[in-house]
Structure 1
């Protein structure tokens, strides 16, 4: 008689259920397990059911004593797959809640009905105890006993599906369409749910009363899943994954070490990294390559450390004597892979960050984030200055200082000597005029700005220096030297007249070419993408010019004015000093008119050091210049005289004339400094009379002396003519002469004489105009104070060495700012961690399965029983104290699962003789790894 649905449901209630314990509960008949080979039920899908109504369709394994284990229906995730039975399979022990089975009969090969059934309500303690059973008990195959008739649900099952093989066939054909969709027909599920507990085909796992979720023995785990691992949890060091991890570890260690060495040594790459050269690497390409290698080091470091972290935690979880692994520790890999998780999941850091392994992981996460930045700051090539290097440099020399013929030949003009024999001097005069006016205008502009701001000091050393220009891209700055002789107040007291004496030293122009000589190996800005910079200090002489101007009355100048000579036949002329054109041969006639070898004595001999006492000739001028005009003694330089200029200031300034003397020499008290910034900017200046300058020429050649170079007078003659300073002979009223005449320092009506603070003196302005002559005279000239060749001009330039220092920018590793040195810690920690991980991988042979990796963790967790200590975490994840629960990986029959380290029993031994080889390897590896005593991480 069939029961209703409510009756069928009641039969599955827990024994604590009052309805289940009622006297009306039907007695289920005894069933027996057919000893013939069973055919597994082939199903295309399954429907998820609760633990209380789950029916396991797989047949039970039986142990040699034909007993069944306890039911674990309430354990696990509620998804059970039936293992395929094979010959020689391991039998199982029946659990106490199962009914006694009897031998099958031929009429019913699938199951046999019995007269009685033992239920939780009527079983005795002997039924519950496996020890009380004997081969003659009803639980033993072949035994018989009196049982109650089969319950109505079982009759219903027989009526619908038949018996034996017919039942199996019916089961496989049930509702094919629904099963293929992952569903089960209601009729099949209904009958399956009403199957008695002692049915040895599809079985139901019911929770044993009083059985704790964590109190799971090894055999129950095998019954729950029954799937041994397909692969060994330990991989030999020759496996591809072990080799891959080892290769990444070696790569990360070697290259992180190389980067650390590069950061510490800070090598300079010179022309190996430049924008020119066949074998050079372009700076942008080099920067990209260094960044690429830094990124690969960072990625390999993260991969290696995560692998190391997984090995430490997995090995610890396998050790029986260790505390296991907490959930917080399982998330430590995310700190390195996803550093932001330390903020979004801060509780993980809270629970796991204070351990030794946690501190190591936090450090690794931090340095992994900063490694690329540290590499850019300390390793990637950047333009930076190196230390100052003292060395011997080479410059090319072609002529002696101020060789006017060679200077003219080097002047750039399309008119050659074949066309015009004066082409060189013509070109040189144009060059003098252009650059001298340019320099003079710049100098006057500086003074104009000073006048607007209130002026400057009357001390020559504090007044503006003289500017100049070379090659249209190099600014040149001179220096005022011998300032002790430039005190106009002291000179006025000494000579009783105004004496304006200044000396200007310009840098050696040949340093410009020496800096670009290939033997000096100085990287130029155009080789560094137009952004390089260097500072060169050359221990060479500096061309200098002394300008001495003195005011004198007309009568004091008569010994040097040819028109005032008695033999000139011009003494009675009313136009003696003005508008009188001297004869063409006045120079020759003036030479013969001088009575003495050094001329007649004058009141200016001691001022200009003329006469026999000083061994110097005095100049001779044809006439007195008119107001605002000037006259030179050009063409007298070949007779051993210096260059001179006679000029008349306006009457409102002074009634006296002003005579200026210009002479040049090579100063040993200076050094030349060349500072280059970018491809279009350079600054050349002289550093003179500096006692702290160890590159001053006098430090290299202590016995050097400053001797006047008379050849420069020939250059000065061309320069004076090009500036129309000799046009006063025709009273041409040239603008340049007019300006100079207004800069004459006049005698004060009272008080002491001094330089004007708002305008330059005539001597200063003359030095500014003459500065260019010093540059062109030294451009291809010697770097020392003497000329060591027989000819004053050489056909081919020859090298000449001089002492110098160089501080240049090159592409180099190392920090540019002091604060960047803090990144050394990052590079060191990455290298040290790589070394530590590499040693770890060498010490521990091979790898174990990383149970903290997502896929492995999921596979292990889904095949593990659930734990009450994680109750409530299935939706939003574990919280608070659940994060620090310790877990162990346990093994049974080759099956691995998570077990709470705070509870459970020691896994029982299992007979491995009939296991496959892979299962045996897994158990062997597990035993070896689990028996380790301690992990210090």
Structure 2
């Protein structure tokens, strides 16, 4: 039973395979993401805002949940003294997909914050958070890939799928600036600027100044800043102005944030945030210190997506850089670039930032999320350096985790390559199509045959039973014919009735044997055609019994097995060896482990074959018994 009972067994290693996944849209297609958002308010009821309203609600639910879990993880790390400034060892990013799949993101392209800050003479906080490709979830559960799901194994089986696909990455760069350094990109600090409101900030154009120039459709300016090199504001693209600095409406109040939300022209891949610090009760003085953050999405080819399925849900994680270099997407397509910018994400980022109340500072909204975020601003440590706080997440890390849900939504039904390889101008297909990707799977499924160490010990017993069955089979092949089983109750009863009484069982009539009578050796003997039972020559403790007066001369030995010379081959030798072994055991009375006794080496035989003493009375008695057995052998059944 222990060997054949089904038990869960781990596959042990990943098996390479080619898998298929469905594709319908490009990465970060905001219109498609809105269309799959579930809401009872349809487009016919609210054509312009139904999709964005639903999407912002989903961003708020997922973003706040992921962010809260991330902050909770930090609380636990601090409780157990695990705080560190080494980003490799800091809590990873967190996410949730389809409400039952936990997402673990990985920090990649990690920089030396202290060294980078020293280079630019200000706090520089740059992070990149790689998320797994959400499309692997649907591919793993597609019937086309023929992967046995846990629910098919009574929700007890598991499997891990590694997919060689690109991973979306959230890149966040934050830098601390003072009020004077922000003047070139804050509109209400310009001469002759108008009063800014939520409504007129989106007007085109807004504000004219002889010294500063505002390009309202792109929310950019040609003004130079002290952080142009850091943020890549080269101002070389005069046509699209994609590399121009952003413009913010005003300076936010302490613990408030505002967004650069008037970039209506398509092409810019980033959104920008401006936050104001403040003084805290622990003596931290950040009043008058501001931070500008740039957030954008890219695709990287240096990662692998791993999906782990269980009966109660599952988990997904991004394995990047040295975690699984052999399965990285770049090994499946070596011609791909290491990183590709996704400009379409900016529109999703706008909806996300509004949902997270990150633009509430435009009306001095003092949102709780903005307050906590600005309290995380980097400050000088005891060494006079700007470095990651060992006991707090940085603003860039917080923004990356908070916006990570947008990457999961952006990757649903998106390609398993880093480009849109279809002829449609708009990255959207009328129906689902199929794309293939390299992967490997390791499954835990039911198996039998001693899969664990305890069950393997039973394999020895099973092997011995198998050998015994082979020997028995060989015996019956060479001894054909019917065999009487004397252990069957009818046969045993007939044999006992037709056997003479024994003095060794004296007193057991009607009550059954007891005590030392159980150690008496019994044999089945024959007289002509009559079979009968008789005791052995040894009773309890190996004492030799005197021959009973009614015993006979030894019967002739059984005839040898009639075999032709050379017949039987291997099986004949096996049977002969087994017969000799059993005979030796029988001669010893199967006395395994018995203490050595002087009579042990005497052959154990029935009393009838034991040589009687030369006595006239015994001879007469034996003759009478012989005559009685002869009569018994001639009996016939009257039934």
> TM class, shorter-chain normalised?
0.7 to 0.9
User: What is the Cα deviation at residue 558 of structure 1?
Assistant: 2.6
User: What is the Cα deviation at residue 869 of structure 1?
Assistant: 7.1
Q: Which residue does the alignment assign to 1:67?
A: none
Q: Which one of the candidate residues 540, 548, 553 is aligned to 1:905?
A: 553
* Contact 2:205–2:215 (Cα < 8 Å) also in 1: no
Q: Are positions 1:381 and 2:17 aligned together? A: no
State the Cα deviation string for residues 773-793 of structure 1 (Å, max 9, x = none): 110001111122222113301
Q: Which residue does the alignment assign to 1:152?
A: none
* Contact 2:521–2:535 (Cα < 8 Å) also in 1: no
Q: Are positions 1:775 and 2:408 aligned together? A: yes
For residues 198 and 108 of structure 2, the distance between their equivalents in structure 1, rounded to whole angstroms, comes to 40
Q: Which residue does the alignment assign to 1:685?
A: 317
Which TM-score applies when normalising by structure 2? 0.76
For residues 455 and 265 of structure 2, the distance between their equivalents in structure 1, rounded to whole angstroms, comes to 64
* Contact 2:217–2:264 (Cα < 8 Å) also in 1: no
Superposed, 1:298-697 pairs within 5 Å as 373=1, 377-387=2-12, 388-421=14-47, 422-454=49-81, 456-483=83-110, 485=111, 487-566=112-191, 569-570=192-193, 582=201, 584-586=203-205, 591-592=214-215, 599-612=222-235, 616-636=243-263, 638-641=265-268, 642-650=270-278, 652-678=285-311, 680-690=312-322, 692-697=324-329
State the Cα deviation string for residues 178-215 of structure 1 (Å, max 9, x = none): xxxxxxxxxxxxxxxxxxxxxxxxxxxxxxxxxxxxxx
* Contact 2:278–2:289 (Cα < 8 Å) also in 1: no
For residues 444 and 869 of structure 1, the distance between their equivalents in structure 2, rounded to whole angstroms, comes to 88
User: What is the Cα deviation at residue 738 of structure 1?
Assistant: 1.7
* Contact 1:601–1:611 (Cα < 8 Å) also in 2: no
CA shift in 2, pair 1:621/1:454, >3 Å: same
- 1 or 2, which has the higher helix percentage? 1
- The SS at the match of 1:849 is coil
Q: In angstroms, what is the RMSD of aligned CA positions?
A: 3.2
* Contact 2:504–2:517 (Cα < 8 Å) also in 1: no
Superposed, 1:3-18 pairs within 5 Å as none
Superposed, 1:864-875 pairs within 5 Å as 864-866=499-501
For residues 459 and 638 of structure 1, the distance between their equivalents in structure 2, rounded to whole angstroms, comes to 39
User: What is the Cα deviation at residue 693 of structure 1?
Assistant: 4.2
Which TM-score applies when normalising by structure 1? 0.53
Aligned residues: 532
For residues 547 and 766 of structure 1, the distance between their equivalents in structure 2, rounded to whole angstroms, comes to 7
- The SS at the match of 1:638 is coil
Q: Which residue does the alignment assign to 1:835?
A: 470
Q: Which residue does the alignment assign to 2:531?
A: 896
For residues 518 and 67 of structure 2, the distance between their equivalents in structure 1, rounded to whole angstroms, comes to 87
State the Cα deviation string for residues 685-707 of structure 1 (Å, max 9, x = none): 11111254422222322332211
CA shift in 2, pair 1:930/1:447, >3 Å: same
Q: Which one of the candidate residues 327, 331, 346 is aligned to 1:699?
A: 331
User: What is the Cα deviation at residue 516 of structure 1?
Assistant: 0.9
CA shift in 2, pair 1:479/1:900, >3 Å: closer
Unpaired stretches in structure 2, ≥5 consecutive residues: 280-284, 538-550, 563-575, 583-639
- 1 or 2, which has the higher strand percentage? 2
For residues 404 and 580 of structure 1, the distance between their equivalents in structure 2, rounded to whole angstroms, comes to 24
* Contact 2:221–2:247 (Cα < 8 Å) also in 1: no
CA shift in 2, pair 1:750/1:465, >3 Å: closer
Unpaired stretches in structure 1, ≥5 consecutive residues: 1-372, 908-926
For residues 855 and 699 of structure 1, the distance between their equivalents in structure 2, rounded to whole angstroms, comes to 77
Q: Which 10-residue stretch deviates more, 696-705 or 496-505?
A: 696-705
- The SS at the match of 1:392 is strand
For residues 745 and 900 of structure 1, the distance between their equivalents in structure 2, rounded to whole angstroms, comes to 100
- The SS at the match of 2:298 is strand
Q: Which residue does the alignment assign to 1:179?
A: none
Q: Which one of the candidate residues 485, 508, 515 is aligned to 1:850?
A: 485
State the Cα deviation string for residues 662-719 of structure 1 (Å, max 9, x = none): 01111211111111221x3211111111254422222322332211111111111111
State the Cα deviation string for residues 757-779 of structure 1 (Å, max 9, x = none): 22211111111111111100011
CA shift in 2, pair 1:456/1:773, >3 Å: same
* Contact 1:873–1:879 (Cα < 8 Å) also in 2: no
